A and B are shown apart, each in its own frame.
Chain A
Amino acid sequence: MIAEFGHFTLILTLLVAGAQGALTLPGAANGNAAWIAFARPAARIQFALVSLAFLSLTWAFITKDFSVAYVAENSNSRLPLFYRIAAVWGGHEGSLLLWVLMQTGWACAVSMLSRQLPEPMVARVLGVLGLVNAGFLLFVLLTSNPFERLTPAPLEGLDLNPLLQDIGLIFHPPLLYMGYVGFSVVFAFAVAALLAGRLDAAWARWSRPWATAAWLFLTLGIAVGSWWAYYELGWGGWWFWDPVENSSFIPWLVGTALIHSLAVTEKRNSFKSWTVLLAISTFSLSLLGAFLVRSGVLTSVHAFATDPRRGVFLLLLFAVVVGASLLLYAVRAPKVGLGGRFDFISRESLLLVNNVLMAVAAGSVLLGTLYPLFIDALGLGKISVGPPYFNAIFVPLMVPALLLMAVGPIANWKSAKLPAMLKRLYIPAFLAVAFGIGVPLALGRWSLLVALGVSLATWIGVAVVIGIYERMKATRSGLFSQPLSWLGMHVAHLGIAVFVVGVTLVMGYETEEDVSMAPGQTVQVGGYDLKFIGVRKVPGPNYVADMGDFEMFRDGASMGLLHPEKRTYASSAMPMTEAAIDANGLRHVYVALGEPLGDGAWSVRVYYKPFVDWIWGGCLLMALGGLLAISDRRYRLKRKARDASVALKGATS
């Protein structure tokens, strides 16, 4: 019954979403107050209904109701409870339900946090979100219903894909989807502004915190995904330029351009038409990513089970949503004025360069991702474009972006004075050169790429620290009495510097040993000795593991045991590698078991990865910067000020 109940609530949600789109958009156009007033309750009802549907599916997983096809395909009676709950979004149908839940959740948040907006604007934004939601609900109900029954019900489920039985599954998809879907809010703001013919600084100020919030979730989602791939796939890499990784990275790049461009639109009323295009593009590229992952047009390690109907439906949805908004853009954007003028050397022009670099980078990643598809569509076969292309294109584009990152924040709006700026860049430049030469020498092997990476990171990091220090001195106040959005920008930039250090040092100094080891033998990596004690069988809830015992030594002193595993799940023939990692913030010692070679000997892979944690640490700092930025008081002050004026009006009338 519970599955039918969940199915029914989804149908109800579709009706409410359709009605919301059909009433509030014309209502806003004609000034029909009753129809406009429908927007907020409709958004909240949708969230409540989808939450019920989501809970129904979760309940089916908790109670092991294998008569529901999706539950039978993605869980097993021996699967531990928390994985059974995470398995709700472990497959195609359930992850779409999670997508819809977040879609309605964001819309509900807009309905609660939009008191400072004019009512017709709220109605338009929520109306657009309702239509997008209706599209996704149609997709779920017509092609991917998670509540479908199996008759007769099997006694046992097939089990969740062993790759997904990991803490990473619990966090990665929800964070990533929060990011993807969050950009739908900014998209809806842009479409609403185009519909209203009102693209101004106020629109940018409303959009900014939403864009930053979505961006911070996407950053976290990508970082968790990268970390998960690093230790779960056992490849020892943290980024593979896989089509699915790329389809989350492309919206991230465009979203990064968007949050910078929104700053210009808010402060200087410039770049308006470009900002709108970015807002539309970011969500469009999220949709494109969903299409690429779920339609099976590209080969990827992430591929979901594919069904041709799904691909066709998603493409239609993509075409309608994006096509309509780009047409609207073409019709309405010409009415937008040009906004404030600015000099060649000014913060605006630096941010413009940032935007161009981000957009070109996103374009090249998109091209590399879709190139196999283009070749296929032209009848030339299926191919794979690998890291050689992406690294060759991407690194040169990022170098100028990183260089400018220290310059942008100290440039004045409208017109900046070059000599004054140069004076403030002496120290970062000097330290960048010093560290660029010194750090690789200190680490033992000099290479140009390491020197470049370390220099750029130092350049940014020092500029951030000096920027914060000077502002504290000038305002004679502490760190936390500075505006949080300003502080957030610096923290996020510092995150980039930390990230660059991590990437550079891992690429420059990681070492890898692929050896066959018999019990008692020792392998050396990065100054550590690893002694192989042996492998024993350890049973898990739904698998049997070959667990290795390694003792780690540094200069003869024991530093503890490491236990890599090779798991064989009851449900799958392919053994899963669980690497063992010893981390101390400055380096990882990473051990993974390969194949048994007989007589207790195993092939063993050992990595020494200096500073690899800094890659994800940098991402956390970026996300923290985003969090600081959206907590800024000025986004809330507006509301209080308006409340006060409303109260005043009420009192005088």
Chain B
Amino acid sequence: MNRLLWPFAGFIVLVAFLAVGLTLKPSELPSPLIDKPAPNFSLPQLKSPENVFTSESMKGQVWLLNVWASWCAACLDEHPVISELANSGVVPIIGLNYKDVRSEAIAWLGRYGDSYTLSVSDTRGRVGIDFGVYGVPETFVIDKQGMIRHKHIGPVTQSAVRDTLLPLIRELQQ
């Protein structure tokens, strides 16, 4: 093959991806962790690092783990939705501050509001790896027994809260 066709071939692949990208909306991925016990972790709290938060302490209630970072544009996108859900008091939301600089994360919360029950610092991303985080943001629904029941990839939207998260949370809280 003419080697000068390579740029064209690469371009075709790019266009194919862009075309598929146009048709797709934020989609859900069946995670291998669904219906498996959530990995246990102990991490320092973001705002008071001397206190350690352990996931064991959430046993007995339904909660959300929201992976976020101050460098993540999509997190800013979902932030009002997450805040509204947290302020409604339906479910505690723990923020997993992923691969972030502590001061920047705190500044980010100061700027856009902090409705999390609390956030923990996963500075090196170890807990994120255990949870199979591809990228930020991601949100996990964890039930009373500590099982992951749902994983939302990408910014949580109003409709995702209304149609998926809230019904599931209510069902799990029964």
Contact = CB atoms under 8 A, between A and B. Distances in A.
B24 to A, nearest CB: 5
Interface of A: 234-235, 240-243, 273, 277, 281, 284, 291, 295, 297, 299-301, 308, 311-312, 315, 318-319, 322-323, 326-327, 329-330, 333-334, 370, 372-377, 379-388, 512, 514, 594-595, 603, 605
Given A273-B4, A326-B11, A386-B72, A594 B136 contact: no
Given A308-B22, A375-B134, A381 B72 contact: no
22 contacts: A235-B111, A281-B7, A315-B22, A319-B15, A326-B8, A326-B11, A373-B18, A375-B135, A377-B18, A377-B21, A381-B26, A381-B28, A381-B29, A381-B138, A382-B155, A384-B137, A386-B136, A388-B71, A514-B107, A514-B110, A594-B111, A605-B107
A299 B21 contact: no
Nearest to A592: B111
B34 interface: no
B18 A291 contact: yes
Contacts of B22: 295, 297, 308, 311-312, 315
Contacts of A379: 24, 27, 29
B159 interface: no
Nearest to B71: A386
B169 to A, nearest CB: 20
A377 B73 CA distance: 19
A300 B76 CA distance: 9
Given A301-B73, A330-B5, A382-B153, A315 B19 contact: yes
A30 B4 CA distance: 27
Given A330-B4, A334-B2, A381 B153 contact: yes
Interface in B93-140: 99, 103, 106-107, 110-111, 134-138
B71 to A, nearest CB: 4
Contact of A315 (B2, B15, B73): B15
Interface string B53-84: 00000000000000001011111110000000
Contacts of B74: 299, 382-384
B15 A323 contact: yes
Contacts of A323: 8, 11-12, 15
B154 interface: yes
Contact of A381 (B71, B103, B154): B154
A384 B21 CA distance: 15
Contacts of B110: 514, 594-595, 603, 605
A153 B71 CA distance: 42
A380 B134 contact: yes
B56 to A, nearest CB: 28
Nearest to A324: B8
A408 B69 CA distance: 41
B156 to A, nearest CB: 11
For B22, B74, B99, the residue with the greatest tally of chain A CB atoms inside 10 Å of its CB is B22
A334 B4 CA distance: 8
B155 A299 contact: yes
**For chain A, what secondary structure do more than half of its interface residues adopt (helix, strand, loop), or is it mixed?**
helix
Contact of B154 (A291, A382, A594): A382
A297 B103 contact: no
B97 to A, nearest CB: 13
Contacts of A333: 4
B74 to A, nearest CB: 4
Given A323-B11, A326-B7, A333-B4, A373 B153 contact: no
Q: Contact residue range for chain B?
A: 35 or more
**For chain B, what secondary structure do more than half of its interface residues adopt (helix, strand, loop), or is it mixed?**
helix
Given A315-B15, A594-B111, A603-B110, A383 B8 contact: no
B107 A327 contact: no
A314 to B, nearest CB: 9
Nearest to A237: B104
A373 B17 contact: yes
A380 B17 CA distance: 13
Nearest to A292: B18
A299 to B, nearest CB: 4
Contacts of A605: 107, 110-111
B109 to A, nearest CB: 10
Nearest to A241: B71
A384 B15 contact: no
Interface in B1-44: 2, 4-5, 7-8, 11-12, 14-15, 17-22, 24, 26-29
B62 to A, nearest CB: 23
A383 B73 contact: no
A512 B103 contact: yes
A327 B4 CA distance: 9
A322 B11 contact: yes
Contact of A380 (B107, B137, B153): B153
Contacts of B7: 277, 281, 326, 329-330
B83 to A, nearest CB: 13
B31 to A, nearest CB: 10
Given A323-B12, A375-B134, A512-B107, A383 B4 contact: no
Contact of B17 (A240, A273, A377, A383): A377
Contacts of A242: 73
A153 B29 CA distance: 45
A618 B142 CA distance: 51
Nearest to B134: A383
Nearest to B153: A381
B4 A329 contact: yes
B138 to A, nearest CB: 8
Contact of B75 (A235, A318, A384, A603): A384
B5 to A, nearest CB: 4
A377 B71 CA distance: 23
B12 A373 contact: no
A370 B77 CA distance: 18
Contacts of A329: 4, 7-8
A352 B163 CA distance: 55
A643 to B, nearest CB: 38
Nearest to B76: A301
Contacts of A300: 73
A327 B8 CA distance: 6
Top 6 closest pairs, chain A to chain B, by CB? A383-B135, A381-B153, A382-B154, A386-B71, A377-B20, A326-B8
Nearest to A332: B4
B46 to A, nearest CB: 13
A386 B134 CA distance: 12
B48 to A, nearest CB: 15
A272 to B, nearest CB: 12
B161 to A, nearest CB: 16
Contacts of B73: 240, 242-243, 299-301, 384
Nearest to B2: A330
Contacts of B18: 291, 297, 315, 318, 373, 377
For B21, B103, B107, B137, the residue with the greatest tally of chain A CB atoms inside 10 Å of its CB is B21
